[in-house]
Amino acid sequence: MKTHTLLLAVAGLFTSTAGYSSVVELNDDIKLDWGMDAYVRAHAIEPNDGSSENGYTSRFRVKANLMLNDGWSINTRLQAYYDWAGDRRHSGGAGNNFTDDANVDGLSVDLGFVQYADDGLLLRAGRQRADWAYGFNISNDRRDRLLAMQSYGYGESDSVSLLGIYDLRFAESEYESDFDVYKDVHMYALAAVGKHGVLDWGMLWAYFEGGDQNIGDPDIDMPQAGYGIDYFHNISPYFTVQIDDFSLRGAANVILSDSTNQLGYHTTWGSDGFAGFVEANYQLTESLKIQAQGVGFVDGGLVGRGFDTYSGLINNNDRNDPSPISRQFFGGLGHEGNDGSIYAARLDWQYSSDLNIKLAGGVMDIENNLGSQTDLQSTFVDLSTRYQWSEYTDFTVQMSWADEDIDDFAVMGQINIRYD
């Protein structure tokens, strides 16, 4: 599924990837910020009702950002990848969740945009990364966009930033076929993010102006045989409240559809939908934190594929670095009666300065999964460890198990290189 409602994350990489970076002064007016990062990853999956699956993935990236003293910069990053045995992988600006069974490798433009930054004003045009609402809306997405942001500070440390976004990827036809679902589709968004005392918050509104055609066939009552975009709004707030050792955070996605009664049901989010989550965190000791969350959606509400459900088998599968062990999508595409819930808890133990251990468990329930009239239930347990080999290198191992309708056991190991 392509999730198009998004906001640019102005800074940062996921911690699962590494950074080797250096800033070189070419002269008094120009600096070059260059770097490299890489990981090597392997996995094995043991379904109880089928043969085992395994695979290998590697990724290598090179960035080169040219920074001028007049506030302008050119920001680029190339990505080379190799995936074996049909793993899920990135391909192109938005990413595909699956390859075929053939070996796949290639080189792509991971990031590429021009930027102007001065006195709280930020302007960008080109392929950018987007994250919003802790991954509940979108995470690690790549698209060509125009973005304008103005930031204001007030008080001692409070701030607010106002943003406007236009998605250039939909400005022209993307696919040439009888069902050209992206033809003349446009996305416009306004957003605000801020910090006020113990509260961090954000609010996003986006509108998708539909194209000429939609996938689906009302004559044979075949809803959403593919992914078609019609007219709808997405309202997505998020918040975090931090008080001493306790924090509470949450987010929501509200879909309000303007689709026609005739074709609306046969397009993605052709009906109204809702999704939300609340997570509580408490630092029990200096080294031990407990987390608990409740997640739900109603009538096929939007939940980002990269959202952290506490299980590696459910979501945890972001747009630009899809996980090979993610087996179940928790969320919807606007089908009425497609409801779901997850209740989960996790212990986060910093055993030593070098070793972190996370142990999680929970239950998942989905009714009318993606409009298929099928219900899904599962209990899951997840164990992940991260060992900091050195200041620059770490190793991670994750073991994920789920019973009933998922019924899989998966192990994934990864080597990351980091140099800050």
Q: Is the pTM of this model over 0.75?
A: yes
Domain of 227 in residue numbering reads as 20-417
Question: Given this model, what pLDDT does residue 87 score?
Answer: 37
CATH of the domain at 62: 2.40.160.100
- Give the CA count within 13 Å in the CB-facing half-sphere of 84: 11
Q: How many domains does one find in the chain? A: 1
pLDDT averages per 10-residue partition of the chain, 420 residues:
34 36 83 92 85 84 93 92 48 39 63 94 93 94 90 92 84 48 73 96 90 52 54 94 97 87 62 95 97 97 95 90 90 90 98 97 96 93 97 95 94 88
In a domain, 12, yes or no: no
d(CA 157, CA 347): 32
> Which amino acid appears at position 352 of this protein?
S
In a domain, 307, yes or no: yes
pLDDT, tens only, 313-356: 999 988 778 888 999 999 998 888 999 999 999 999 999 999 99
In a domain, 230, yes or no: yes
Q: Which of 332, 347, 344 is closest to 295 using CA atoms? A: 344
In a domain, 283, yes or no: yes
In a domain, 9, yes or no: no
In a domain, 5, yes or no: no
pLDDT, tens only, 377-399: 999 999 999 999 998 899 999 99
In a domain, 394, yes or no: yes
Q: What is the DSSP letter of 269?
A: T
d(CA 90, CA 139): 13
Say if residue 405 is exposed, middle or buried (CB neighbours under 10 Å; 0-12, 13-18, 19+): middle
In a domain, 14, yes or no: no
Q: CB neighbours (10 Å) of residue 277?
A: 23
The set of residues, in sequence order, having a beta carbon less than 8 Å from that of 224 and lying 6+ positions away, is: 215, 216, 265, 266, 267, 268, 270, 333, 334, 335, 370, 371
Question: Given this model, what pLDDT does residue 54 score?
Answer: 87
Q: Within its chain, how far is the Cα of 285 from the centroid? A: 30
